[in-house]
């Protein structure tokens, strides 16, 4: 299969995700999978749930100390997530 055909398949899959309004869910799954790489294992180990809704990243944590520390770096989290996604995926972080 040529590179041209592979890119066409990728475009087809993106269009399908968009048509069925599954883009955000796909990005959420991808973010969950790569969260340890983006934020480090310590934060990932204390993260119980990640969810994206209305351009907000909801992060549930099991440690109040980690939650407090992360609250100081919300802009950095937004920057890292958007850079990873290659688009403005989120514009706010809600820590729970």
Note the pLDDT tens digit of each residue in 24-36: 788 898 999 999 9
Q: Is the pLDDT of residue 95 over 60?
A: yes
* Count of structural domains, the chain: 1
With respect to residue 2, please indicate whether it lies within any of the assigned structural domains: no
- The answer to whether residue 4 sits within a structural domain is no
Contact present, 90 and 52 (Cβ < 8 Å): yes
Residue 80 falls inside a structural domain: yes
Report yes or no on 66 lying in a domain: yes
Provide the residue range defining the domain that includes 80.
21-95
Over 80: is that where the pLDDT of 6 sits? no
Q: Is residue 58 part of a domain?
A: yes
- Cβ-in-10-Å burial (0-12, 13-18, 19+) of 95 comes to middle
- Judge whether 7 lies within some domain: no
Q: What is the pTM of this model?
A: 0.80
Cβ atoms 76, 40 nearer than 8 A: no
Which CATH number fits the domain that encloses residue 25?
3.30.300
**Vertex 95, ends 90 and 96: CA angle to 5°?**
135
């Amino acid at each position: 299969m040529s590179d041209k055909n592979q890119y066409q398949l990728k475009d087809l899959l993106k269009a399908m995700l968009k048509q069925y309004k599954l883009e955000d869910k796909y990005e959420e799954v991808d973010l969950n999978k790569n969260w340890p790489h983006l934020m480090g294992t310590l934060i990932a180990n204390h993260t119980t749930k990640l969810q994206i809704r209305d351009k907000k990243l909801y992060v549930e944590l099991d440690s109040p100390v980690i939650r407090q520390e992360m609250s100081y770096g919300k802009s950095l989290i937004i920057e890292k997530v958007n850079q990873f996604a290659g688009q403005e995926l989120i514009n706010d972080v809600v820590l729970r």
